[in-house]
Amino acid sequence: MKRLYKTLIIAIILSGVFYGFKAYKKYSVVEADIEKVKAEKGDIEIMFNETGYIQPKIVREVYSPVSGVISEMFFKEGDEVKEGDKLLVVQPGSSAADKFVPIEIKSPINGVVMPCSSDDGYSNRTSEIKKVGERITGQADYNPTCVMKIANMERMIAKVEVNEVDILKIKKGMKVDITIDAVNQKVKGKISTISLASSLNSKTYPVEIEIDQKINALPNMTARITASIEKKSGIIKIPISALFNEYGANFVYVYNPKTKKAKKTPVLTGIRNDTDVEILSGVKEGDELYTDKPLNIESENDKT
């Protein structure tokens, strides 16, 4: 008899646990630890952010029209020159025995003397300004020698390499903000050139930005470029973490306080940025949304 009572008691306890768990699973939020966020009315702005460098807009390379030896040099790196200033003298010929008339080479523009390099950024200096006594090749010969560069520092531009995704978001003439941290200066500018010649390795496109005012920056200083691509105000938005996608269809899990379960709801989306996405239909302001797939999801039999 005692054994029977013991068996009945165990059965009653197990039955209570079973039905209690069913009730708990039906009416409680098992996934209480899952973060929920609210759909809210607000603004979404898509920003363009890139980092580039400052360069003079007008740069001229200086070459000798003939091959020969530099006999005189009148300026060094960093010196300011005026258009027409005599930069150097070249003694033409293949040897000292040749008695040709010396050639004077003058500055093509106002600017600052800079060394030649293999790129326009002056970041990888492969050569210095040529010196007296060095032999150079003229423009008429194969592979002429760049003696120096003259850079007009009055007009500067920002150069930036834009990836293949963001290049489709910008256009010529678009206004941008430029921050040059080295000189603590913020200026306005606009996109002047978008090159279609991309780098095969990095998949980036060269972009040039004209700067609207005079700046104190030097060539190669870092420039942070920002611009507003698109902005919408007074729209329903949710964090991107609350948006799910399955087979190309977007949906959210909306918390239903009546059933204490989540309702899988399809949504139509609009613009988005790195943090938020616009909701055109399917969600209303104030709805609570799960940021991870919940355990308790409403079925057709659940009452709302």
- In this prediction, residues 260-270 reach a mean pLDDT of 93
**Which element (helix H / strand E) includes 25?**
helix 2-27
Mean pLDDT of the chain: 85
pLDDT for 9 equals 55
- Pairwise CA distance, residues 134 & 277, whole Å: 63
- Pairwise CA distance, residues 242 & 46, whole Å: 19
pLDDT for 120 equals 46
- Pairwise CA distance, residues 29 & 292, whole Å: 14
**Which element (helix H / strand E) includes 4?**
helix 2-27
Q: Is the pLDDT of residue 164 over 60?
A: yes
The contacts of residue 116 (CB under 8 Å, 6+ apart) are 61, 127, 129, 146, 147, 148, 149
pLDDT for 123 equals 44
- Pairwise CA distance, residues 72 & 89, whole Å: 5
Q: Is the pLDDT of residue 66 over 70?
A: yes
- In this prediction, residues 254-269 reach a mean pLDDT of 92
The contacts of residue 3 (CB under 8 Å, 6+ apart) are none
- Pairwise CA distance, residues 203 & 196, whole Å: 11
Q: Is the pLDDT of residue 14 over 80?
A: no
pLDDT for 301 equals 62
pLDDT for 32 equals 59
- In this prediction, residues 257-279 reach a mean pLDDT of 93
Question: Could you give the percent of the chain with pLDDT greater than 90?
Answer: 66
Q: Is the pLDDT of residue 121 over 50?
A: no
Among 74-88, 89-103, 144-158, 203-217, the range scoring the smallest mean pLDDT is: 89-103
pLDDT for 299 equals 74
> What one-character DSSP code corresponds to residue 167?
G
Is the separation of the CB atoms in 273 and 25 below 8 Å? no
Q: Is the pLDDT of residue 26 over 70?
A: no
More confident residue, 3 or 205: 205
Sheet containing strand 135-136, edge to edge, reads: 103-106, 86-92, 68-73, 135-136
- In this prediction, residues 89-118 reach a mean pLDDT of 86
Residue 278: pLDDT band (50, 70, 90) is: very high
